[in-house]
Amino acid sequence: MKRLSYERRIQLLALAAGLPGSFIALILLWTGSYSSGSAWTLTFLILSLWLGFALSLRHRVVFSLQTLSNLLAAMREEDFSIRARGARPDDAMGEVMIEVNALSTMLREQRLGAMEATGLLRTIIEEIDLAIFTFDHEAKLRLVNRAGERLLARPLERLLGSTAMELGLAGCLEGESARTMELSFPGASGRWSMRRGSFRQGGLPHQLVVLNDLSRTLRDEERQAWQRLIRVLGHELNNSLAPIQSVAQGLESGLNEANQLPELQTGPAAPILQDLQEGLAIIRSRTETLGRFMTAYARLARLPKPKHLPVPVADWVHRTAKLETRVKVCIKEGPRAVISADVDQLEQLLINLIRNAADASLETNGGVQVGWLLQGSQVEVWVIDEGPGISNTANLFVPFFTTKPAGSGIGLVLSRQIAEAHGGQLTLENRTDARGCEARLRLPF
């Protein structure tokens, strides 16, 4: 048997409520001494009022419930702008409407608070200098911040939906939840502090992975230690070298004047004076060399902050490559790109890289290649040589360390310091496809 709807039941109850009175009134009307016309008129009037009041009752009840249903449906769809009008605290339906309006107001405030908190959280995640990734239960990437985009050197659209295996992050989803790892990515490589946590979204488990680059932090500490050491050494050595150089120059000038005397030029003291003069010249020359040596190292401690201006990559590379004339420098053209950087510092950086590549290639009569390409939000400039390669890559960026007989050991250190001051990264490693080395400079695009 088909069940009656709520509206039909209300209508039947309203008709049943008026049925006894209307039935008795009709019996009294037709059994009384009334004319036929009056009886029919009164019968029509009684039935009309009975049906009219029943329909009006049904409409009033159904309309109130439909209004309440519309309000609840709007709240379910997160539309909290609709309110019930005419809600009064002195009747039952008015109290219901007042409570529904209050509930809608409360949900609206909670929704705004949640949206503001979510917006603040997203802003913090985007601006924080840590790579943050979230993966769903299928190990697919669902959220990544700007630091993560730079690390993987791909835009957000190409990252979302990729698996941890495709992104090189599968190892982060296994093993201990907090540990130090050696990782290599398109945007950076080195030692990383990895922390992993879990949460649920939509009833399904998700994992949060946070990566912190320890290499740059360690390099910053190392650079500050070297800068402090260089300041102390420079101060002490300069205080000692200045009087030594002055005394050596004075003695050398006195010996030059003494050598002009005829009796000393031919006497037994002439060889001794000649040896003294040569010794003083060596002392003066070495003090001047040591002074220039410390002045060069002092540049590490006084590197100014970069002055960012638009720099066309092609012009920068071509202009710097022309300065190297000892070997042939072949330029591999890349896409047109303009970066914001300090052009003087970048030229010094690229000069150091090309000069090192040329020095290595001279040993094997090889050449040097320079080029650039775009990697997501980064420009990558590479310098490749055909030299013998590097036997010890661990100390390349350590101050005072050099493999050249006349090297100072600050070129690569200064170059990496310039790269990191621009928010970039400099790496130098042996080639895998042939003999030689390749230097790669990555800068924000």
- Identify whether 169 is part of a domain: yes
Listed residue (128, 136, 126, 121) closest to 212, CA to CA? 128
237 and 210 within one domain: no
- Identify whether 121 is part of a domain: no
- Identify whether 120 is part of a domain: no
Q: How many CB atoms lie within 10 A of CB 335?
A: 10
Number of structural domains found in the chain? 4
224 and 206 within one domain: no
Question: Whole-angstrom Cα distance, residue 390 to residue 363?
Answer: 13
319 and 295 within one domain: no
Question: Whole-angstrom Cα distance, residue 320 to residue 350?
Answer: 7
- Identify whether 115 is part of a domain: no
Average the pLDDT over 192-211 and give the result. Answer: 89
CA atoms within 13 A on the CB side of 315: 8
**Six-digit token string for 428:** 């130098």
Label residue 74 exposed, middle or buried (CB < 10 Å: 0-12, 13-18, 19+): middle
pLDDT tens-digit series, residues 18-31: 888 888 888 888 88
Q: Among the listed ranges 188-192, 266-270, 331-335, 383-387, which one has the minimum average pLDDT value?
A: 266-270
345 and 438 within one domain: yes
- Identify whether 113 is part of a domain: no
Q: Which domain holds residue 231?
A: 217-301
Choice between 159 and 120, residue whose per-residue pLDDT is larger: 159
Answer with the one of 186, 216, 246 that is the final residue of a domain: 216
Answer with the one of 301, 333, 365 that is the final residue of a domain: 301
364 and 245 within one domain: no
- Identify whether 412 is part of a domain: yes
Question: Whole-angstrom Cα distance, residue 419 to residue 348?
Answer: 11
Q: What is the pLDDT of residue 92?
A: 76
End-to-end CA distance of the chain: 73
Q: What is the pLDDT of residue 332?
A: 92
**Strand pairing partners for 131?**
211
371 pLDDT band, cuts 50/70/90, is very high
* CATH number of the domain residue 183 falls in: 3.30.450.20
320 and 279 within one domain: no
Helix H or strand E segment including 156: helix 156-159
Query: Are 416 and 354 spatial neighbours (Cβ–Cβ below 8 Å)?
Result: no
Listed residue (212, 207, 213, 210) closest to 142, CA to CA? 207
Q: What is the pLDDT of residue 301?
A: 60
SS3 377: coil
230 and 172 within one domain: no
- Identify whether 352 is part of a domain: yes
pLDDT tens-digit series, residues 227-266: 676 666 666 666 666 677 677 777 767 666 666 655 555 5
Question: Whole-angstrom Cα distance, residue 79 to residue 336?
Answer: 48
393 and 360 within one domain: yes
224 and 211 within one domain: no
**Distance of CA 195 to CAs 132, 178, 213, Å?**
10, 4, 12
Question: Whole-angstrom Cα distance, residue 189 to residue 153?
Answer: 12
212 and 225 within one domain: no
Q: Among the listed ranges 125-129, 219-223, 341-345, 427-431, which one has the minimum average pLDDT value?
A: 219-223
Q: What angle do CA 356, 358, 362 make, to 5 degrees?
A: 120
DSSP string, 168-194: T-GGGGSS-SEEEEEEE-SS-EEEEEE
Listed residue (82, 62, 63) closest to 72, CA to CA? 82
403 and 328 within one domain: yes
Choice between 244 and 338, residue whose per-residue pLDDT is larger: 338
Q: Among the listed ranges 19-33, 150-164, 205-219, 384-398, which one has the minimum average pLDDT value?
A: 384-398
Answer with the one of 152, 187, 216 that is the final residue of a domain: 216
What is the C-alpha radius of gyration for the chain, rounded to an integer number of angstroms? Answer: 44
Q: What is the pLDDT of residue 42?
A: 86
Question: Whole-angstrom Cα distance, residue 121 to residue 110?
Answer: 16
- Identify whether 284 is part of a domain: yes
Count of H helices and E strands in the chain?
12, 12
**Strand pairing partners for 195?**
178, 210
The residues, any chain, with a CB within 8 Å of residue 264's CB and separated by 6 or more, are 258, 270, 273
334 and 437 within one domain: yes
Q: What is the pLDDT of residue 312?
A: 92
pLDDT tens-digit series, residues 399-431: 555 555 555 556 787 888 888 888 888 888 888
